A and B are shown apart, each in its own frame.
Chain A
């Protein structure tokens, strides 16, 4: 048994090294990878133009119209002592609902979604029924009305009745009985004692019927009425520009940039938009440059949207385009500052001249007011040691798993058709951000060689090799992140170079490692 138990601890732990050689990864970087294929336009000559559009601000419909969840309670209290006979009617409520819609006077609405919850408490000790009716709420031409039975309440207690209705599809007229009001909706609540009930004694002050009506998550698909004058603020530095935060140093010279700000009004009200400032902020350097353009600080008047379907929407936007170029502004200085954020401050004023539409303001659930930013620039530039950097997660301890890597080489085979050389440098950081390993020197991928017409016709191959010692790997095992820096430098230096659609940088990474078994 001792021998058998000894075998249970028998564990082979072989130990030798193997030299493995294998491709790890391959990729091809194209202008589309860098800028996004949908953002690039190929010109007839094959050169590229960047056409990038993004939404800067979006005021959804609930910026203007929002029907908050509301609960209304109505009850009938007996003024005197009396005997309630069979078949007696009890009018609980017959008046307008005081509809709470801030800053908007609704005349009509089509309800897209929401619920109506009804709760009835009855102290009537005999069988009864209850009827709810909203004469000016109709679905397919049928008014909202329902009747249901109320259970007799126990003596000294009360019975409870609850019901919930989906109210999507209802057309509601808020103009009151004489069609001359806003936000007025008549509600009728009547109870009736059953005809075969027994007479019951009612005391003065007794709350016979108590009702509670709640509107929950009511979403109008369309609403019409009057919208009060108010200002929606455009203020924040929330516009982040992709990849710009990767720029760490260097300069770039661009040929031409056009920027268009488009303001669109999808609400059925007149509006006025004003940009107080548009500032490009480079958070790395702390440098900010305010855009100078005549329109900055001046109002832009926008007409109301129209109820003409367009672009799959039931209305047409009213738009205004603000063209900003290198010729009418300081856009070039603005661009080469490499702003990673754009701070925009301004306002969007609704009905700036008051309610002039005679209650014909409108909104659809899909209505919004938007500010879009579009950049159009030929991909023609010179880059002077422009350095991009980023950090990616990396689990260095995985190098110890199964077959721990002791030393090795990473070979990068490159075929570069871009007219810029790339310098690569990697640094491993621990969980606290401290450097645990750093590539001794930058490795360079050679640039594609431009011909006399400024175009590169053939890619340039080059190979770089990172040699990692056993000590290097030990340090790498402590790494939690890899910080990489890629430097771009166009060749010839300081010459504006066009980027063509067929340019690419092909990379293949091959690892040759000594691993322990």
Chain B
């Protein structure tokens, strides 16, 4: 019986919180896990602002000012909230020798995007403080997505005296629930010093699911994705993995709406032909007219977007096999604003009932991140994991970014007798 350094039980999982006690997990044939994770991160917006944003608390000027100091020309912001229930089984028979399978049911909300410093100013301060200036919002690209998914994966292990290999593949079906996409490759707005006119030079496109069907779980479309993973490890010190998770697409139905505009204009206010004729009906007509003139082209059509899949590659070195491991990895999630993330992780098991890991990473929606993970073996196949990907946001929320947390409960069944 081989003991794997590689965490095969996190296959097909989005939260990645079930990675614990690699030695122990091979003693069981079945596992059920419930896990959740959230991350809000940015390379510019401070953690305190993210926290207030998510809590719906009032974001005051000093808070906005502190984030403004960290703004770069191009900035990133993202949020990922996921909850999952997974089941993994390694049957003795039925699939053939060394086959196992897993099923995951999950819910995911994603927001991500990239924006300029001026877009931050415009969004959080308004244009009034910048009267007499041009704000350049070009490059704005943001997307919101909410979907539910069901994944089914299979793993085939290939055992050999020196290297142990495993190949897994899986399919995911998603219920496409909500999405909103805003892209503005060109957008500049100039506010005259006294506000008497605005110059707008913009090209933008907004897509959205059927706004009248925004209830959670409502099937506004579907998505399909495929996963493929290869792992390879020797008996004690080296392991390597290559993973492509949920590569596919999502299609929102033909009731989805779009709005696009490519224009350069000066807005002097609504021209009232005759002020003496202004009444409620006149105002409504003017508003309708403005919506037509400045809202651009609108319509309904089906929308295809890429499923927010990811690719990752990693190498783990067992400094002290089963006790202390060092992992270097890189991953990328296909979602607006996401930057390739590079991580180094040191994980140890000082006690059979406790695991500790520390992570240092750069990328994603944020910059540098430090993470801590804890795991507890509660006995009788029960495990509990807890961690954060960005502890810097907790320690120094006014000068750094990143808020994240993840937790999971695992119950393993069917302990093998040959250990």
Contact = CB atoms under 8 A, between A and B. Distances in A.
B270 A25 contact: yes
Contacts of A507: 275
A22 B198 contact: yes
B194 interface: yes
Interface in B88-131: 105-107, 109, 123-129, 131
Interface stretch (A13-21, A189-197, A265-273): A13-21
B83 A7 contact: yes
Contacts of B276: 29, 33-34, 243
Nearest to B146: A7
Contacts of A510: 194-196, 269
Contacts of B56: 12-15
B418 interface: no
B267 A23 contact: yes
Contacts of B107: 3-4, 7-8
Contact of B128 (A12, A20, A33, A394): A20
A170 B235 CA distance: 113
Given A4-B106, A29-B275, A23 B269 contact: yes
A510 B52 CA distance: 32
B128 A393 contact: no
Contacts of A511: 195
Contact of B269 (A2, A14, A26): A26
B129 A26 contact: no
A415 to B, nearest CB: 12
B280 A509 contact: no
A512 interface: yes
B85 to A, nearest CB: 6
A25 B268 CA distance: 7
A509 B194 CA distance: 11
B269 A33 contact: no
B196 A413 contact: yes
Contacts of B197: 23
B271 A27 contact: yes
Contacts of A20: 126-128
Interface stretch (B57-65, B158-166, B204-212): B57-65
B81 A24 contact: no
Q: Is the interface of B mostly helix, strand, loop or mixed?
A: mixed
A321 B148 CA distance: 84
Contact of B124 (A8, A18, A26, A33): A18
Interface string B262-275: 00000111111111
Contact of A21 (B128, B275, B280): B128
B36 interface: yes
B64 A21 contact: no
Contacts of B106: 4
B148 to A, nearest CB: 8
A393 to B, nearest CB: 3
A321 to B, nearest CB: 31
A109 to B, nearest CB: 45
B78 to A, nearest CB: 14
A24 B36 CA distance: 47
A459 to B, nearest CB: 16
Contacts of B60: 16
Nearest to B37: A3
Interface string B184-216: 000000010011111000000000000000001
A23 B268 contact: yes
Contacts of B304: none
Nearest to B131: A21
A243 B53 CA distance: 53
Contacts, number: 122
A6 interface: yes
Nearest to B83: A3
A107 to B, nearest CB: 51
Nearest to A12: B54
A411 B274 contact: no
A13 B54 CA distance: 7
A308 interface: no
A117 interface: no
Nearest to B64: A16
B378 interface: no
B364 to A, nearest CB: 20
A455 interface: no
A395 interface: yes
B109 A15 contact: no
Contacts of A13: 56
A420 B52 CA distance: 54
Interface string A231-247: 00000000000010000
A25 B105 CA distance: 54
A425 interface: no
Nearest to B121: A18
Interface in A380-408: 392-395
Contacts of A394: 280
B305 interface: no
Contact of B272 (A12, A19, A27, A413): A27
Nearest to B85: A1
A33 B274 contact: yes
Contacts of A14: 53, 56, 59
Contacts of B279: 392-393
A2 B128 CA distance: 45
Interface in A488-517: 507-512, 515
B272 A26 contact: yes
Given A33-B274, A395-B280, A510-B194, A18 B123 contact: yes
B403 interface: no
B34 interface: yes
Given A14-B59, A20-B127, 5 more contacts: A12-B53, A16-B59, A21-B191, A26-B268, A510-B194
7 contacts: A3-B34, A3-B35, A3-B83, A20-B126, A20-B128, A395-B280, A508-B196
Interface of A: 1-4, 6-8, 10, 12-16, 18-27, 29, 33-34, 243, 392-395, 411, 413, 507-512, 515
- Nearest 4 A-B pairs (CB), nearest first? A18-B126, A393-B280, A23-B269, A3-B83
